[in-house]
Amino acid sequence: MKNLFRTLSLALFVAMAVCSCGDTELTPAPTKKLHPYVKKGSRSPSRLGELPDSKQAGYHGKIVIDIEETSQATYTVKVDGDDVKFYVSFPQGCNNAEYAGVVVLHGSGGLWKNDIPENNELAKQFKEWRELLDSNCFISIFPDSYSPRGCEEREGIWTTAPKNFDISAQFVRPADAYAALKLLKRFVTPEGDPLVKQDGIGLMGISDGASATMATMYDTDHPTPANWEWEQEFDDDEVYTDEVKAPVARPASGGFACAVLYYGGSGHYGYFGSLSVASNNVYYNYAPMLYHLPMDGYLTSNTLKVYNMLVGKNAPVQKYEYTGVGHGFDLPDSDQKTLARTRTIDWFNEKLLGL
């Protein structure tokens, strides 16, 4: 029966699938009309073979991946009405029974090489991260938060109201992160077993992606004052409320096990309140967060204020400081870049796999 099931489902989900994803919707690319369980290249749908009784329950909507046959794939997921593309990398030669997963949120420069999403080529920085995570046997997934919302890079009009609301790190991009989390949880082996450890998925973000990571990790179950109003203030000194949405709630099935933040902004345009006065700030993270802070970075002083405030709240946070480098130090080769990446892998191994 296992061989029959493997034959029916080996290669379809290399690039697309159809399934229900809660408040997101996974859809095929418009030019391909394939049944969810059609073997790649076949002319007609094949029926899904029966699974053992212990695995049959809850199987609907899962995505079959034969990791020996699939190294990369892209999926398009409907997130709050936007068709968001997710690039997924499956490590080869690891032979794990199940894998830890890592969601990577890109920075202001976007996800793609030369800002061309159609080529499905990651920018150099994220190609390096894909290779590093592959070599350490993590399944990685990279959401493209900008292209589906009309933005190539976060610059100019995209850095302030009203266009910034379309790609908001505070209340838009966290939905992409959680859609990636749900997608990872839907991957199963040809035998029907979870491919990704369900409580072993981490999040990391770089620059604007780190701001989005921090917002994603906000504990929406943590008490918020009854009179609290979600608002933001940009350089024009106007306070915006109508356009500002509440934080994205952590899924009922559980959130991320941990997070890593590279030199992101922590002010959030006043979204969570004061940068340093705990009584005027509602932020609290629901799982451990690791900060990589360049001491010459222009955002570091504010992040240190927030970090120290979180320590005072007994929030689960940790930091490493890097001298002699500034914002963007994960891009050029340096000893600090290598050290931070090594620490990131060690963090994920500890938090996601208990190593």
> pLDDT tens-digit profile of 32-74?
222 222 223 222 222 222 333 323 323 458 999 999 999 999 9
Measure the CA–CA gap between 195 and 101, rounded to whole angstroms: 10
Q: What does the pLDDT look like over 154-174, one tens digit per residue?
A: 999 999 999 999 999 999 999
288, 317 Cβ separation under 8 angstroms: yes
Q: What is the 3-state secondary structure (H, E, C) of 220-264?
A: CCCCCCCCCCCCEECCCCCEECCCCCCCCCCCCCCCCCEEEEECC
The closest of 27, 141, 11 to 79, measured between CA atoms, is 27
Residue 196 scores a pLDDT above 90? yes
Q: What is the mean pLDDT of residues 71-99?
A: 95
Q: Residues of 233-251 as b/e, b for ≥16 C-beta within 10 angstroms?
A: eeeeeeebeeebeebbebe
Element of type H or E holding 88: strand 82-89
Tally of residues, the chain: 355
123, 107 Cβ separation under 8 angstroms: no
Residue matched to tokens 């991009």:
173
Question: In one letter, which amino acid is 106?
Answer: H
Mean pLDDT of all residues belonging to the chain: 85
Q: What is the 3-state secondary structure (H, E, C) of 31-77?
A: CCCCCCCCCCCCCCCCCCCCCCHHHHCCCCCCEECCCCCCCEEEEEE
Calculate the CA dihedral of residues 175, 180, 185, 189 and round it to 10 degrees. Answer: 160
Q: How many CA atoms lie within 13 A of 203 on its CB side?
A: 34
DSSP 313: T
**Better-predicted residue by pLDDT, 237 or 251:** 251
Domain ranges of the chain: 66-353
Residue 2 scores a pLDDT above 50? no
35, 45 Cβ separation under 8 angstroms: yes
Residue 12 scores a pLDDT above 90? no
The CATH class, in words, for 66-353 is alpha beta
